[in-house]
Amino acid sequence: MLKVRISKRQIYYNFAVAEIYVPNTVKNIDQYLWENEHLYIDKIEDELSQGHYEQGFGLDQHGMCEEKEEEEWRYDVLNENNEPSYGGHL
């Protein structure tokens, strides 16, 4: 008899979203978000703790593209139709 080991690696990711309001007077959104992470960090962590995992890497979805990173943060400014108009990585 031959002994055979069968293996499978399957990747899952967890994705969370928090929406906050930023004053219209803010000129540098990146800096504002870094300095005010208390506005969203608990919302993100609470949603991640729910454990809604999806199969795959989660790349190219919602602007995620850092394939060599274990964690990725970004922001998107939403227009009046609740669609991203611009954004970037944090």
pLDDT tens by residue, 36-64 = 999 999 999 999 999 889 888 888 777 88
- CA atoms of 14 and 18, how far apart (whole Å): 14
Residue 74 in any domain: the answer is: no
Q: Is 59 helix (H, G, I), strand (E, B) or coil?
A: coil
pTM above 0.95, yes or no: no
Say if strands 53-55 and 12-14 run parallel, antiparallel, or are unpaired: antiparallel
Residue 3 in any domain: the answer is: no
Residue 89 in any domain: the answer is: no
- pLDDT at position 5 over 90: no
Residue 18 in any domain: the answer is: yes
Residue 33 in any domain: the answer is: yes
Number of domains observed in the structure of the chain? 1
Residue 77 in any domain: the answer is: no
Predicted confidence (pLDDT) per residue in 22-41, tens digit: 999 999 999 999 999 999 99
> Which DSSP state fits 9?
-
Residue 17 in any domain: the answer is: yes
Q: Would you give the distance in Å from CA 58 to the centre of its chain?
A: 9
